[in-house]
C-alpha cells in the first residue's frame, strides 16, 4: 500500500483527497500552482452522495452553515416579474436549488482548513516532470525541488497540464456550445434569496444568486459554438460580453457595470473531459482533471468530493495500488457517465434564440412548476446519480 502521496491541485478535489487520504493514514503533500490558497468562485452544490461524503469527513454541518442561503430558483421576465419558481422547501430533497448550496471558495476553504493540519502544502509550485519506475514516482517541481512518492494524485481541474503530459492525445473533449462568465457584483435591495434566471433571446441568460458575504453572484451565459474565446485575455472577453449583452434587458446594465469592477471574473467555454482511463502506473486523475462534467452536469463538486473519498477508500482497502486504482475507476465510472450524459441539444433548448422560443420555454416552466408538477420537476433536476456504495469504506470513521 502506498504511504507517501503527492496531490497536485488544492481546490475541491485536491483538498478533499488530501483530507480523506490523511484520515486514512497516508502521508500527504499537496502542491498548488497558486501562490496561496485560492478563494473565489461562485455557487456549487453538493447533492446526495456528496452530502454523505461531507458527513463522513465531519464537514456536513459546517458546509450547511457556510451555505449561500439560496432558498429556491425563479425564472423572471424583463421586468423582474416571476414567471415560474421552485422553492426548495416546497419539494422533497433537492430541487434546482439544492439544500446544500455553497460558494466554491467557501467549500474549498472548509476542506483546506480541515486538511492543512494533516497534510503538507507547497504553494506557488507545480509538477515539472514525473518519472514512474513502477515502485514509485520521482517528481521534479518547477522550483527545482525533487521528491519521491508512492503515488501521485492529479486534481488540477479541467485544464490539467499533468494530464496532458501523461495522457497525450487521450482526452477527447466534448464541447457543449455554451460559454459562461461568473463574477461578484454589489448587492441591491431587490436581490432576494432566490436564484433569479432571466432568459433574453439569442441564447443569452443572466443569473443572479445570493451569497452570505453581502454581495451578489452574477453569471452570464451564452449558447453558441465556441470560437476560441477561452484563449482570449480577460479584457477582450469582457468587451465581447458587453457587445453581446448590452441589449439583453432586465439587469444587464447593472451586471455589465459590475463585471467591469469585479476582481474575480471567471470565464469558461464548457468542455467535458473524456478519457478512456484515469490512471497510468502510479499516477491517477481525479475531479475535473479526470472527468469534468461542466456545470451543465450539475454535479461537478459532488463528483469531486466523492471521487476523492472513494480513491482514499480504495487505496486503504487494497495492498496493490493497481488494484486500488482499478477499483476506484470501476466505482466512479457509472456516476461520471450519468453526469456527462447531458444531451448536446440541452443548452440550446434551455437557452432559446428567438422571443417566441423564450415564451414557449416560460410556458413549459409554468406548467412544470405548478404544485402538482414541481416535485416531479425537482426529481428530474436531481435524478439518480448511480453513486458508488460508500459503505465499503471507513476512511471517515478512522479520523484521528
DSSP string computed for 228-257: SGGGS-HHHHHHHHHHHHTT--TTHHHHHH
The answer to the question of residue 396 lying near ligand FAD (CB under 6 A) is no
The answer to the question of residue 215 lying near ligand FAD (CB under 6 A) is no
The answer to the question of residue 50 lying near ligand FAD (CB under 6 A) is no
* Smallest distance from ligand FAD to CB 86, Å: 20
Grid coordinates 502544502 are at which residue?
121
Cβ burial 170-200 (10 Å sphere, 16+ → b, else e): ebeeeebbbbbbbbbbeeeeebeebbbbbbb
The answer to the question of residue 44 lying near ligand FAD (CB under 6 A) is yes
Q: Which is nearer to ligand FAD, 296 or 327 (CB)?
A: 296
Beta bridge partner(s), residue 285:
154
Q: Of the candidates 71, 177, 288, 329, which one interacts with ligand FAD according to CB under 6 A?
A: 288
Could you give the CA distance from residue 111 to residue 100 in angstroms, rounded to a whole number? 15
* CA dihedral of 206, 209, 215, 218, whole degrees rounded to 10: -20
Q: Which is nearer to ligand FAD, 258 or 287 (CB)?
A: 287
Q: Which is nearer to ligand FAD, 46 or 361 (CB)?
A: 46
* CA dihedral of 55, 59, 63, 66, whole degrees rounded to 10: 150
CB distance 177 to 347 below 8 Å: yes
The answer to the question of residue 126 lying near ligand FAD (CB under 6 A) is yes
Q: Given the DSSP bridges, would you call strands 4-8 and 266-272 parallel, antiparallel or unpaired?
A: unpaired
3-state DSSP call for residue 116?
coil
Interface region with ligand FAD, contact rule CB under 6 A, candidates 2-10, 195-203, 205-213, 246-254: 2-10
Number of residues that bind ligand FAD (CB under 6 A): 33
Phi, psi at 204, each rounded to 5°: -100, 140
Q: Which is nearer to ligand FAD, 165 or 318 (CB)?
A: 165
The answer to the question of residue 339 lying near ligand FAD (CB under 6 A) is no
C-alpha dist (Å) from residue 155 to 28, 94, 160? 14, 27, 8
The answer to the question of residue 295 lying near ligand FAD (CB under 6 A) is yes
Residues 89-118 that bind ligand FAD (CB under 6 A): 104
Could you give the CA distance from residue 35 to residue 2 in angstroms, rounded to a whole number? 28
The answer to the question of residue 9 lying near ligand FAD (CB under 6 A) is yes
Interface region with ligand FAD, contact rule CB under 6 A, candidates 113-121, 274-282, 293-301, 335-343: 293-301
Residues 137-176 that bind ligand FAD (CB under 6 A): 155-157, 160-162
The answer to the question of residue 30 lying near ligand FAD (CB under 6 A) is no
Binding-site ranges for ligand FAD (CB under 6 A): 8-14, 31-34, 38, 40-42, 44, 104, 126, 155-157, 160-162, 182, 266, 287-289, 295, 300-301, 304
Amino acid at each position: 500500500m502506498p504511504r507517501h502521496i503527492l496531490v497536485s491541485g488544492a481546490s475541491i478535489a485536491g483538498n478533499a483527497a488530501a483530507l480523506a487520504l490523511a484520515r486514512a493514514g497516508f502521508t500527504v503533500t499537496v502542491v498548488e500552482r497558486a501562490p496561496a490558497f485560492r478563494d473565489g468562485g461562485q455557487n456549487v452544490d453538493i447533492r446526495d452522495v456528496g452530502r454523505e461524503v461531507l458527513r463522513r469527513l465531519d464537514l456536513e454541518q459546517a458546509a450547511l452553515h457556510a451555505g449561500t442561503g439560496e432558498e429556491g430558483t425563479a425564472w423572471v421576465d424583463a421586468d423582474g416579474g416571476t414567471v415560474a419558481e421552485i422553492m426548495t422547501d416546497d419539494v422533497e430533497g433537492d430541487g434546482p436549488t439544492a439544500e446544500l448550496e455553497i460558494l466554491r471558495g467557501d467549500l474549498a476553504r472548509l476542506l483546506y482548513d480541515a486538511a492543512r493540519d494533516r497534510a503538507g502544502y507547497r504553494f506557488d509550485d507545480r509538477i515539472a516532470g514525473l518519472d514512474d519506475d513502477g515502485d514509485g514516482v520521482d517528481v521534479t517541481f518547477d522550483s527545482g525541488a525533487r521528491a519521491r512518492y508512492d503515488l501521485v494524485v492529479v486534481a488540477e481541474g479541467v485544464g490539467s497540464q499533468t494530464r496532458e503530459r501523461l495522457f497525450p492525445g487521450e482526452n477527447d473533449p466534448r464541447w457543449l456550445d455554451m460559454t459562461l462568465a461568473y463574477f461578484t457584483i454589489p448587492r441591491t435591495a431587490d436581490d432576494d434569496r432566490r436564484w433569479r434566471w432571466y432568459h433574453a433571446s439569442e441564447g443569452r441568460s443572466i443569473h443572479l444568486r445570493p451569497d452570505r458575504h453581502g454581495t451578489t453572484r452574477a453569471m452570464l451565459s451564452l449558447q453558441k459554438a465556441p470560437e476560441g474565446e477561452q484563449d482570449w485575455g480577460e479584457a477582450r472577453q469582457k468587451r465581447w460580453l458587453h457587445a453581446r449583452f448590452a441589449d439583453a434587458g432586465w439587469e444587464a446594465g447593472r451586471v455589465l457595470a459590475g463585471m467591469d469592477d469585479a476582481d474575480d471574473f471567471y470565464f469558461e467555454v464548457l468542455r467535458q473531459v473524456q478519457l478512456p482511463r484515469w490512471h497510468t502506473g502510479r499516477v491517477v486523475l481525479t475531479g475535473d482533471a479526470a472527468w469534468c462534467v461542466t456545470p451543465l452536469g450539475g454535479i461537478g463538486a459532488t463528483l469531486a468530493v466523492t471521487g476523492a473519498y472513494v480513491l482514499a477508500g480504495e487505496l486503504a482497502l487494497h495492498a496493490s495500488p493497481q488494484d486500488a486504482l482499478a477499483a476506484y475507476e470501476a466505482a466512479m465510472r457509472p456516476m461520471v457517465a450519468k453526469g456527462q450524459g447531458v444531451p448536446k441539444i440541452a443548452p440550446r433548448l434551455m437557452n432559446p434564440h428567438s422571443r417566441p422560443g423564450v415564451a414557449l420555454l416560460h410556458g413549459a416552466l409554468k406548467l412544470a412548476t405548478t404544485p402538482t408538477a414541481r416535485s416531479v420537476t425537482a426529481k428530474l433536476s436531481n435524478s439518480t446519480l448511480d453513486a458508488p456504495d460508500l459503505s465499503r469504506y471507513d476512511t471517515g470513521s478512522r479520523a484521528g
